[in-house]
Chain A
Amino acid sequence: MTPSSTSAPHASTAQHASTAQPTDATSQPTDGSSAYEAGFTESASGRVYTVTGGDWEEILGAGEDDAERIVVNMGPQHPSTHGVLRIVLEIEGETVTETRLVIGYLHTGIEKSCEYRTWTQAVTFLTRADYLSPLYNEAAYCLSVEKLLGITDDIPERATVIRVLVMELQRIASHLVWLATGGMELGATTAMIFGFREREKVLDLLELITGLRMNHAFIRPGGLAQDLPDGAERAIREFLVDMPKRIREYHRLLTGQPIWKARMVDVNVLDAAGCIALGVTGPVLRAAGLPWDLRKTMPYCGYETYEFDVPTALEADSFARYLVRLEEMGESLKIVEQCLDRLRPGPVMVADKKIAWPAQLSIGADGMGNSLAHIRNIMGTSMEALIHHFKLVTEGFRVPPGQVYTQIESPRGELGYHVVSDGGTRPFRVHVRDPSFVNLQAVPALTEGGQVADVIVGVASVDPVLGGVDR
């Protein structure tokens, strides 16, 4: 701003025009870019062009240094970036020389919001972080809170079994979305149709069990929001019969398919040492040959008592990651079946009435809500029960001070929750170590030196969910 324009808003037009004149002249593009709207700017590293169309040779001219260096923004609004991921690619011809990732477009402050809710309410936020595996968020957070409370061993057996059951169902759903979106990005639209078709069946099951297709808030500190409904077991068993056939179908459709293999085999290789240095876990690490699965190596929720295998591959490329994920779906089916076999009647919430949510949900005439029997009890017969309900629902329970870190194996790798309590009724700090966030760091290592088209495969093979990345 010139002094005249700031100090005297009523300055004469002639004076204003005279001061504005030189500014206009300097901002005028000197040459070359006038035909294009965006123009170029001079920066410390040379001239930077921003173009929205036209022919490179016309714009760059001949004989300029690094004339072939082109920076392309992929995303954030790009169908193959799994949400709002921005990839800044520096390319020479078709070869990617540098990949930079820009995230944060979906940052909603979930971690901060948790600090203003009770320990139980925080579940409702955290389930929305990684929206393709919400039950894992809930489980990891609730395991953390239970460890802080010291009630880990008091969680009823039935609640733990159902937790494992819904988590493994969700692993299948999550891998199916990966298959569907990953396939769609490679042009395999049948893979997309198949993937979403079966995922819908899993979501139907989860809807039957939890009441919601996604963002369930089903796993709560101390147990579960509600027990399995009637008919859930039968529906899951039907799914268990159907799903193995579907997985064989994917193999028949894709595993030997030349185009599918040409796009994925020996593409985006990252070996185990690179994975660990970059913190990459989950199917990407297992496809590099390291059988690191927290369900086996650092078991939780009684996973050590289930019989299942950890699929691995040695090739460390995108195709190996595809195979590992397909195999994992089959292993999850095995776990789900074992869960059903060991379901015994019993409570699904911890017995401690100072922690357990006072009401169980039930279906009424107007949909799901607090059970009428419970409301009749607290409103009609027991003043103490009413006070207890009110205190626990509005104030919540206190959690002894301390901090814990709980890690579980989500479909994308190690999902860790660092939860700190100051002794109050609200979390002091909840940090989500989201596997997508960490695994995305490997994308430059996967894609630099490869072709532009392989960037799509590389991002897809990591399976990032931006809701979890940005939180």
Chain B
Amino acid sequence: MTSPDGTSPDGAPPAGRDSPGGACDENGAMANGAGELVGGGNGLRPGRRHDAFGAGGSGDTSGFGRLVAPAPVLAASERPFGDPDADAVYDALERVFPQLGDAVERAVVDRGELTLHVRREGLPALAQTLRDDPGLRFELLSSLSGVDYPDDATGRRLHSVVHLTSMTYRRRLRLEVSVADADPTVPSLTSVWPTADWHEREAYDLFGIVYTGHPGLTRIMMPDDWIGHPQRKDYPLGGIPVDYKGATVPPPDERRSYS
């Protein structure tokens, strides 16, 4: 769990901002900490929940404006999970994948979905087993997406999330690999599931996760010469204030936020 660091205005920039992917500040991301104490408007830290109302500049002396909700982390689930599919997948993995304890940091069953938090070193072998073992048969890589958790307690803020579908057993499984901004490399899954190609390019483009072993890791959504990774939480949304009937509507990321 993150330390409740709501009192430190804006904090230090995340480690490794000067890494190849982390050029966000050149595009003006992460507005400086001015006005942080009242936690309103631009001073809100991206990707973080501020209570109570997010209103800045109101002369609030209650202190509520400084509250920052800790990043929620779902606890690891105990075996047996109580979900037949999740238990079946985990049992089969334990049988055929002896390195399971090393590869998987923790397993979470939430809302009927099994998530394996995988160490990146163990990912290629685990993926190959998941695809090929007759008791698992995750033939289809449905989706791969990046998620940025700036407050990740382990410091590994960039998560690469893979959703697998077993067409044979009609099960789903989520693999989640997290890496730090300073060393954002994850083994590519393209050799196991060729469909991961564009997914990984997208996650690289928008989050800066570098997939080692990918045949051509280039930007896919943004122009080739773009600087920064737009879907990181500290990358600004952009936008300009709009005048409408005498009033000015601020851009979306500067409007009052309630969460």
**Using Cβ atoms and an 8 Å threshold, which residues of chain A touch B199?**
438
Measured CB to CB, the closest approach of chain B to A101, in angstroms, equals 9
A374 within 8 A of B: no
The answer to whether B230 touches A292, judged by C-beta atoms less than 8 angstroms apart, is: no
Q: If A278-B195, A438-B195 touch, does A433 touch B170 (CB 8 Å cutoff)?
A: no
Could you say which of A148, A395, A422 has the most chain B C-beta atoms within 10 Å of its C-beta? A422
A 264-282 binary contact with B (CB < 8 Å = 1; else 0): 0000000000001111110
Q: How large is the interface on A (under 10, 10 to 19, 20 to 34, 35 or more residues)?
A: 35 or more
B 190-202 binary contact with A (CB < 8 Å = 1; else 0): 0001110111000
The answer to whether B111 touches A104, judged by C-beta atoms less than 8 angstroms apart, is: no
Q: Which residue of B lies closest to A108 (CB)?
A: B221
**Using Cβ atoms and an 8 Å threshold, which residues of chain B touch A418?**
143, 145, 161, 163
A424 within 8 A of B: yes
B89 within 8 A of A: no
Pick the contact of A279 from B71, B140, B148, B174 — CB < 8 Å?
B140
**Using Cβ atoms and an 8 Å threshold, which residues of chain B touch A407?**
142, 165, 172
Q: If A107-B221, A112-B237, A428-B47 touch, does A398 touch B259 (CB 8 Å cutoff)?
A: yes
B222 within 8 A of A: yes
The answer to whether B140 touches A425, judged by C-beta atoms less than 8 angstroms apart, is: no
**Using Cβ atoms and an 8 Å threshold, which residues of chain A touch B145?**
418, 429, 431, 433
**Using Cβ atoms and an 8 Å threshold, which residues of chain B touch A471?**
221
A243 within 8 A of B: no
The answer to whether A104 touches B167, judged by C-beta atoms less than 8 angstroms apart, is: no
A334 within 8 A of B: no
The answer to whether B221 touches A279, judged by C-beta atoms less than 8 angstroms apart, is: no
The answer to whether A395 touches B258, judged by C-beta atoms less than 8 angstroms apart, is: yes
The answer to whether B72 touches A401, judged by C-beta atoms less than 8 angstroms apart, is: yes
Complex Cα gap A394–B259 (Å): 12
The answer to whether A116 touches B221, judged by C-beta atoms less than 8 angstroms apart, is: no
Q: Which residue of A lies closest to B233 (CB)?
A: A115
B69 within 8 A of A: yes
The answer to whether A107 touches B222, judged by C-beta atoms less than 8 angstroms apart, is: yes
Complex Cα gap A324–B187 (Å): 38
Measured CB to CB, the closest approach of chain A to B245, in angstroms, equals 17
A15 within 8 A of B: no
Q: Which residue of B lies closest to A116 (CB)?
A: B252
A414 within 8 A of B: yes
A416 within 8 A of B: yes
A396 within 8 A of B: yes
Complex Cα gap A109–B231 (Å): 8
Complex Cα gap A274–B161 (Å): 23
A402 within 8 A of B: yes
Q: If A147-B111, A407-B142 touch, does A276 touch B252 (CB 8 Å cutoff)?
A: no
Q: If A276-B167, A426-B259, A433-B163 touch, does A405 touch B141 (CB 8 Å cutoff)?
A: no
Chain B: residues with Cβ within 8 Å of the partner, total of 45
Q: Which residues of chain A in 376-435 are interfacial with respect to chain B, using CB atoms and an 8 Å cutoff?
A: 394-396, 398, 401-405, 407, 414, 416, 418, 420, 422-426, 428-429, 431, 433
Q: If A117-B252, A407-B142, A418-B145 touch, does A423 touch B49 (CB 8 Å cutoff)?
A: yes
The answer to whether A112 touches B230, judged by C-beta atoms less than 8 angstroms apart, is: yes
B23 within 8 A of A: no
Measured CB to CB, the closest approach of chain A to B188, in angstroms, equals 15
B253 within 8 A of A: yes
Q: Which residues of chain A in 99-150 are interfacial with respect to chain B, using CB atoms and an 8 Å cutoff?
A: 103-104, 107, 109, 111-113, 115-117, 147-148, 150
Pick the contact of A276 from B49, B139, B198, B221 — CB < 8 Å?
B139
Complex Cα gap A103–B222 (Å): 9
The answer to whether A279 touches B253, judged by C-beta atoms less than 8 angstroms apart, is: no
Pick the contact of A297 from B47, B111, B167, B198 — CB < 8 Å?
B167
A441 within 8 A of B: yes
Complex Cα gap A407–B141 (Å): 12
**Using Cβ atoms and an 8 Å threshold, which residues of chain A touch B170?**
297-298
B74 within 8 A of A: yes
Complex Cα gap A147–B221 (Å): 29
The answer to whether B111 touches A402, judged by C-beta atoms less than 8 angstroms apart, is: yes
Q: If A279-B195, A433-B143 touch, does A113 touch B237 (CB 8 Å cutoff)?
A: yes
**Using Cβ atoms and an 8 Å threshold, which residues of chain B touch A438?**
195, 198-199
Complex Cα gap A398–B198 (Å): 33
The answer to whether B142 touches A433, judged by C-beta atoms less than 8 angstroms apart, is: yes
**Using Cβ atoms and an 8 Å threshold, which residues of chain A touch B220?**
103-104
Complex Cα gap A422–B69 (Å): 9
Pick the contact of B221 from A150, A398, A440, A470 — CB < 8 Å?
A470
**Using Cβ atoms and an 8 Å threshold, which residues of chain B touch A398?**
259
Measured CB to CB, the closest approach of chain B to A8, in angstroms, equals 29
B 209-246 binary contact with A (CB < 8 Å = 1; else 0): 00000000001111100000011000001000000000
Complex Cα gap A277–B195 (Å): 6
**Using Cβ atoms and an 8 Å threshold, which residues of chain B touch A420?**
147
A437 within 8 A of B: yes
**Using Cβ atoms and an 8 Å threshold, which residues of chain B touch A276?**
139-140, 167
The answer to whether A429 touches B147, judged by C-beta atoms less than 8 angstroms apart, is: yes
Measured CB to CB, the closest approach of chain B to A75, in angstroms, equals 16
Complex Cα gap A422–B72 (Å): 6
Measured CB to CB, the closest approach of chain A to B50, in angstroms, equals 9
Complex Cα gap A278–B139 (Å): 10
Subset of 14 A-B contacts with CB under 8 Å: A104-B219, A109-B237, A276-B140, A279-B140, A279-B195, A396-B258, A403-B147, A405-B113, A407-B165, A418-B161, A422-B47, A424-B259, A425-B259, A470-B221
Sample of 10 further A-B pairs with CB below 8 A, known A113-B237, A116-B255, A148-B111: A103-B221, A112-B230, A279-B141, A292-B167, A405-B172, A414-B142, A418-B143, A418-B161, A438-B195, A471-B221
Which 6 A-B residue pairs are closest in the complex by CB-CB distance?
A279-B195, A424-B259, A433-B143, A401-B72, A431-B145, A425-B259
B-side residues, CB < 8 A to A, are 47, 49, 69, 71-72, 74, 110-111, 113, 115, 139-143, 145, 147-148, 161, 163, 165, 167, 170, 172, 174, 193-195, 197-199, 219-223, 230-231, 237, 252-253, 255, 257-259
